[in-house]
Structure 1
Amino acid sequence: MSSQRAPVLEPGWLLTPAARPYLGSILHKNRRRVFGLLERPALPPGLDVPLVPYKLFLHGKSGVGKTALVAWLAGTPVPPVHHETLGIEVTTVYWPAKACASGRPVLFQLRFWDCGDGAMRKFEHLLPACKEEADAILFLFSFTDRASFEELPAQMSRAMDPDGSGLVRVVVGTKFDLSVHADVSEQDVAAFEEAQGVRVLRAGSTPGAGGDRGGLARVSPILDALVESLWYRDQITAGVTPEGEGSPPA
């Protein structure tokens, strides 16, 4: 599992004093900035960094919190009442990080593809569209919905193609902050991680919680973990030893 190896990106770097200019590039008036399709963070002269884009597809049963997770990570609000996502919604999140080997910052562009479970079942072309050229699939379950957890192995088997070895598998448990009402125990999670060989990330349930500078501390562990897994995959694919110098192709 990834937790047993040395990190290839410096954990928590974006919240350190050295990263202040890069943190400022994704904020506006101390709140997360929402970027349009053709926009990217503006850095001071001399601090330009490589831009590495990734496509991440969210997969999970209706109601587990796919849309809320994206809003939580992007620092944007969602309606207080759950509504099924009718089609595909794409949200772009920029996340700077620092490579351990080179000591150089990298700007990651994370494009989250969120598709409603009902729409995906109704329209067969949506699943292939979401998976096309994807770099990672995020399999979601809710800590307050045991059925969503028990369905994970079957969902992962259906979604992963036989030749999908290049896809990064990520499992995210949502509504972790409602653990007093949890239907999934830590023992359940540990057994799943051991059986599947994947790490389970834990996300809160408060929409927009990562929208201000202080809220970044709550979302940074998940965003750091996502870019860490993808960057590590790229280095392995490019034949670069994770402990050595070099950067994977953007």
Structure 2
Amino acid sequence: MAAWGGSVLEPGWLLSPAGRPYLDSIFPKNQRRVFGLLERPALPPNLAVPTVTYKLFLSGKSGVGKTALVATLAGTPVPPIHHETLGIEATTVYWPAKLRASGRPVIFQLQFWDCGDGALKKFEHLLPACKEEADAVLFLFSFTDRSSFEELPAQMSRVVGPDEENLVRVVVGTKFDLSPQADVTEGDVTAFEETWGLPVLRAGSGLGARGGREGLARVAPLLDALVERLWRRDQIAAGVAPGGEGSPPA
């Protein structure tokens, strides 16, 4: 996999003893909490930290696993049968992390916007709505669907215009654990990363399906990678070295 560069987050901090109070705020009583639009993690006043909000739009052909990925990251049940998402579904995921340079925890509020591919093609206003004030676009392909991988370049060009360089592009390959059925090889992925300069993140078909904190540990690397890429963008925009002491954006 192409390198992301030196990590600006402390790896594994949330699952360490120091991160336990923050973990408990999103995972009380060994049960992942699902947050409503106006809800947020509750912490004691002495542990209050800044909250940084990002909007992420998921793009990909029907069936690649957009809805399943969001459910996995949010800790909700993954739909057992594929159904085309009829409109826009927004899901909020809170993810505490610790910045290595400052040693300060930050809570990232990730707003995932999932819209069915059929609805996007039918209603022209949906794509602009999904991209409005978005910080990143997640381009999904399935390791079991080669056509979804081959369509990535055209998909990225169609969704992100030349004047939208502020949008962070993230490529995620789903169903990575179904290797016997894989239509996309590691060589294909390496060639793509070298051509486009975009690391490919991997998500299994049942990622996070297990209950308890074991499931959380399995999604942690992907959530860390997402918030780290977004944080780097903000630090560069603010003229601060990505690993520096910049303040969280308002």
Q: TM-score range by the shorter chain?
A: over 0.9
- How many aligned positions are there? 250
Q: 1:12 Cα deviation (Å)?
A: 2.1
Q: Which aligned pairs between 1:144-183 and structure 2 lie closer than 5 A?
A: 144-183=144-183
Gaps of 5+ in 1: none
Equivalent residue for 1:96?
96
The question of 1:27 aligning with 2:5 is answered no
Distance 1:35 1:149 in 2: 33
Give distance in 2, aligned partners of 1:54 and 1:6.
22
Any idea what SS the aligned residue of 1:141 has?
strand
Cα distance, 1:147–1:126 mapped onto 2, change above 3 Å: same
| Worse-matched range after superposition: 205-214 or 166-175 | 205-214
The answer to whether the 8 A contact 2:208-2:216 is kept is no
**CA distance in 2: counterparts of 1:2 and 1:239, whole angstroms:** 25
Q: Give the SS at the match of 1:32.
A: coil
Q: Write out aligned runs for 1:75-224 (5 A).
A: 75-206=75-206, 209=209, 211-224=211-224
User: Contact 1:68–1:207 (CA<8 Å) still a contact in 2?
Assistant: no
Structure 2 CA distance, aligned partners of 1:80 and 1:59? Answer: 21
CA offset digits 1:109-145 (Å, max 9, x no partner): 0000000000000000000000111000000000000
Matched, 1:15 2:15: yes
> 1:171 Cα deviation (Å)?
0.3
Q: Secondary structure at the match of 2:45?
A: coil
* Alpha-carbon offset, residue 205 of structure 1: 1.1
Q: Which amino acid is the alignment partner of residue 125 of structure 1?
A: H
- Distance in 2, Cα, partners of 1:2 & 1:47: 36
Instruction: Please give the root-mean-square deviation of Cα atoms over the aligned residues, in Å.
Output: 1.4
Q: Indicate the residue corresponding to 1:47 in structure 2.
A: 47
Give percent identity, aligned residues only.
78
Between 127-136 and 204-213, report the one with greater CA deviation.
204-213
Q: How does 1:234-245 map to 2 (within 5 A)?
A: 234-245=234-245
Q: Could you tell me how far apart the structure 2 residues matched to 1:27 and 1:46 are? A: 19
- TM-score normalised according to structure 2 size: 0.96
Name the amino acid aligned to 1:118.
G
**Separation in structure 2 between the aligned mates of residue 136 and residue 30 of structure 1, nearest angstrom:** 30
Aligned residue identity for 1:173:
G
- Change in CA separation of 1:93 and 1:32 when aligned onto 2, cut-off 3 Å: same
Whether the aligned pair in 1 keeps the contact of 2:59 and 2:138 (CA below 8 Å) is yes
Specify whether residues 41 and 211 from structure 1 end up closer, same or farther in structure 2 by C-alpha distance, changes over 3 A only. Answer: farther
1:31 shift after superposition: 1.5
The answer to which of 135-144 and 198-207 deviates more is 198-207
Deviation at residue 220 of structure 1 after TM alignment: 0.4
* Conserved? CA contact 2:86–2:116, under 8 Å: yes
Which consecutive unaligned segments of at least 5 residues does structure 2 have?
none
Distance 2:19 2:205 in 1: 27
Q: Is the 8 A contact 2:50 2:248 kept in 1?
A: no
Per the TM alignment, residue 208 of structure 1 is displaced from its structure 2 partner at its CA by: 5.2
